[in-house]
Amino acid sequence: MAEVALRAESGRLLGSRSSRRLRAEGKIPAVVYGHGIDPLSVAVERRDLRLALTTDAGMNALIDLEVNGAQHLTIVRDVQRDPVRNRVTHVDFILVSRDEVMTVDVPVVVTGASEAVRRDDGTVDQVMFNLTVSATPGNIPNEFSVDISSMVIGDTIRVDDLDLPAGVTTEVDPEEPVAIAQITRATIEAEELDAEAEAEAEADAPSEAGDEGQAAS
């Protein structure tokens, strides 16, 4: 995984008023911690942070954070957002080592489309969107791609079916479903209504024995 360079300014003042002033200037308050160091209060440019987190690695990008001329290998541990505008308001960077195993959530991305499922009025439901894995920072995959094009109704793709790269492990149950191909609820309800209509029609229809009796009289 490639590393992304990001510069941070140290010595920011703490408090909500100072944080609001930073955001008005296009900067994001942040903190750097881990590996036994005292937490560092810093600020990063909003634009630079957005670029750092929009690579193929997404939120799991390795960030080479420069603070006062010193380089710190980090990964984003937490991002706080404004609940209304959804803009980033604070970031936590955690220090990592290239040889340490860490636990992160990796996105699961569904690709392709199943013609067989569509033809049978079904749908493929993705039920797992992130998989928790353990790996060294350089081995963390950007995503897990799941091709659903060969699925048919009744098929399930499970964690055990995912292709984990060398050096990547997961504690998630291998039987946990990732994607399920099934008949849609609307189709099931339509079939139930058809069955009820057929049953009512059969109940209302005169029996053959009753028809013969009426004809003989």
pLDDT > 70: percent of the chain: 83
CA 141 to chain centre: 13
Average pLDDT, the chain: 85
Mean pLDDT, residues 20-30 taken together: 87
Q: Is residue 214 part of a domain?
A: no
Contact by Cβ (8 Å): 185, 118:
no
Q: Is residue 204 part of a domain?
A: no
Neighbour-count burial of 84, counting CB atoms closer than 10 A to its CB (0-12 exposed, 13-18 middle, 19+ buried): exposed
Q: Are residues 92 and 12 in the same domain?
A: yes
Q: Is residue 198 part of a domain?
A: no
pLDDT greater than 80 at residue 146: yes
Q: Are residues 87 and 110 in the same domain?
A: no
Greater model confidence, 83 or 190: 83
Q: Are residues 109 and 126 in the same domain?
A: yes
pLDDT greater than 70 at residue 199: no
Mean pLDDT, residues 114-136 taken together: 93
pLDDT band at 17 (very low <50, low <70, confident <90, very high): confident
Sheet strand arrangement including 122-126: 122-126, 177-183, 156-158
Q: Are residues 21 and 91 in the same domain?
A: yes
Q: Are residues 140 and 183 in the same domain?
A: yes
Q: Which of 73, 96, 119 finishes a domain?
A: 96
CATH of the domain at 125: 2.170.120.20
pLDDT band at 206 (very low <50, low <70, confident <90, very high): low
So what's the pLDDT on residue 190?
A: 53
Mean pLDDT, residues 75-104 taken together: 89
Of 38-52, 149-163, 188-202, the range with the lowest mean pLDDT is 188-202
What is the span of the domain harbouring residue 161?
A: 104-190
The helix/strand/coil state of 67 is strand
Q: Are residues 84 and 12 in the same domain?
A: yes
Q: Which residues pair with 183 in a beta bridge?
A: 122
Greater model confidence, 57 or 97: 97
Beta strands in 21-164 (DSSP E): 27-34, 37-45, 62-67, 70-81, 88-95, 102-111, 122-126, 130-135, 144-147, 156-158
Per-residue buried b or exposed e for 17-46, using 16+ beta carbons within 10 Å of the residue's own CB:
eebeebbeeebbbbbbebeeeeebbbbbbb
So what's the pLDDT on residue 195?
A: 57
Mean pLDDT, residues 103-132 taken together: 93
Total domain count for the chain?
Answer: 2
Contact by Cβ (8 Å): 27, 43:
yes
Q: Is residue 199 part of a domain?
A: no
Mean pLDDT, residues 194-213 taken together: 58
Mean pLDDT, residues 64-80 taken together: 89
Which residues lie closer than 8 Å to 52 by C-beta, 6 or more apart?
Answer: 4, 6, 61, 63
Q: Which of 68, 96, 124 finishes a domain?
A: 96
Greater model confidence, 208 or 35: 35
Which residues lie closer than 8 Å to 102 by C-beta, 6 or more apart?
Answer: 75, 96, 134, 135, 136, 137, 140
Of 82-86, 126-130, 131-135, 144-148, the range with the lowest mean pLDDT is 82-86
Read off the pTM.
Answer: 0.72
So what's the pLDDT on residue 163?
A: 92
Q: Which of 96, 116, 137 finishes a domain?
A: 96
